[in-house]
Structure 1
Amino acid sequence: QNDSCSSTAGAGAQFQKWKLKAEQAKKVEFIRTTEMLKPQLANAEKGTNRYLYNRKSDLRVEYSILVELVHRMSISRKTEKAKILQQLSKIQSDVKRLQQQLNDARPTPEFVDKLKETMGEIENAISAFKEEQRQIYEQLLKEEKATMSELSALERKVKLWVLGSSTAGKVLKLPSVNKVLEKHLPEEVVEFERFLQQTGEWQGGWDDHDHQTFLKVWTKHKGRLSYMDEALEYLCGQTKEDIEQRDKWYQKFLILLERKKE
């Protein structure tokens, strides 16, 4: 029986040695493969950069902006990580100091006061850390919401652009104003109808959501320039120049509409 146990133990030891050798061989092979792939990766990155940074490349500017953004975000993450580690390290140090004080506990009023002071410092540090992280989290949620809103606006624009591209030929073939009716309609009516057809009908080429949002903000501020900041906040997919152009369009729209009514 002892021989059988010894034989089993020996077989187990041999198996463990074989397993360790196999794992070691896999690690060596992985490292060798990684080292072989490094030059290929470097060449691929070099070729990509050569193409993207080429003056003739349409993506050069966008790629440069993206690289700079990634670099700034990386630095920001490292800074934030270092700050958090520093805060946690201080809290940990305070906790260790409290533990040391408890180990050296002496039932005196001075000791109790010192203990309360240390516990208060730890509690304040933890509360401040949690509050700061909560504010960061809320800010990230706001940024995520704004980003999703911008993406939705861009998605709507792309859909409208695709739809407009597919029907552009048909639209261009339509007469701006019926030639027969032009002779029988007042000049103000013809001018208004021509303006609508040339600039995207009653919404000026914008989708219904953006157009209604613009009207709501513009009307709220009665057309004063103070509406711009609020308009930019709600119209995430539009730039300041877009809104300024929309303002000019709407001003002309109102003038021509008033003439038509007269």
Structure 2
Amino acid sequence: MAALATTGCGDTHCSGDGDHLTCPSSPVLGSNGDHRLDRQKATQFLREAEKNRRQIEKLEKERTLNAQCRKNGWTDVSGELEEYEKLLEEERNVEKIKLQKQLVKIHNGVRKFQTHLTDVKPTPELIEKLQEIMSEVEISINTLKEEQRSCFEEFLKEERTCRQEITAYDKKIENWSLAVKSTPKLRPAATVKTKPPDRDLPAEVRALESFLQRTGGPNGGWDQYDHQAYLKIWTKHGGEPAYRKEAKLYLPSKTLEEIEQHEEWHQELMYLQGRKREAIQRWKASKHQERQARILSQEEKEETERREKEAKSQAQQYKSEEERREAARRLEEWREERKRKEEEEEEQRLVEEIQKQKRAKEERRRQLEVKLTIEEQLRLKREKEEEEERRRREEEQREVEERRREATRGIKRLNERDLHKVEAKFHEKQLREKEEEERRRRIAAKLKEKVDGQVSRDASRLTRPTRGWQERMKHVGPSGGGPVLQMFHRAVPTWRQGL
């Protein structure tokens, strides 16, 4: 239920979608760093609100407690849960309306500030009015943030408490299930081992210890967590009978009769504890009286010792006063001597300081002369180097001009030579062409003469050996006419063998 209340408040704040929070904060904050920090906080808040909303949806989907209670016949528990849920819903709606009113107030303040800024000449009255509006808006925002922070802190505390209670109940139910499986018998109430009452103790203290020993210890025979839950609800309602209804929600394992019996036990315990406190107060009062009597006797004894000490101290004081005056006289003499030495040392220091200043002044003058001499030498050296550099550049410039003219003349000669070579090649080519043409004419004339002659038919010319064959047969010796023993032929491929 505390988780539902927590998420409800976060949901209400989220309903503004961050517009009313970021809008007024932008004119109030003066720097981009603060504005960025506020935007990051708003983004983180919206993320947490979305997470809480999803948690609410999950809890509403998984809420089967009502049906289970009705199934088991726990109608009173389901009715009380429904009433408590309605109460939380009403509180959440009231908080939502209140938050919306505050956001609307802040939004109106920002709108008012914006309307005063448009088309208005800046005057001292207007600036003062704008400062008042800004301060009101800032106060509203800070108040809203403080309220939400305190609200969230309360909800977080309740959520942690409820989580601890739920964890304790889960462990308790697990222990019940284990106990039922192992041994069906109930566990006997825990007994508190106490020491036998001392006879010197007051009757009220012995009565309280015997009551606790008889009724099952400081928890009245209950589990410690159940007793703490009972005390929390009883304190919340101030002991009014109306607390039993809420106690039944926190203590589902206890009946109303057990709660009433525990209430009677608690009232008896409170009565005995009150009597014990009264007895302790009386005991403390008697002890205080005894202590006062001892203190009075001790004070009288101390007063006598103090008087004796005062007499001794006065004598000692007179003696010490004499010693103090003598020491003051010696101290004054020592101070005068030290002052005289300090004055002499100061005079000596001033003389040394003056001499030191003179030496420093002479050293600075000498250094200045050396500096001027070095600067003059450097200037002369720099002028000499500049003159040499200028001459070198002029010499290089002359050499470059000379090389350029020489290169121009060489290029001209090469161009003339290339031109003569081209003309010679052209004349030579023309001569070769003329010779070739002349040779072709001669060959054509010879061919024409041969064609024009009469040729007779010679039948023996077909079987007559050619000139090439005759030249070849000249080199064949006498051994070339023997019988041929072997003739070599070209190889026949495998795919053509046998065709």
The TM-score range, normalised by the shorter chain, is 0.3 to 0.5
What is the TM-score of this pair, normalised by structure 2?
0.26
The higher radius of gyration belongs to 2
What is the TM-score of this pair, normalised by structure 1?
0.47
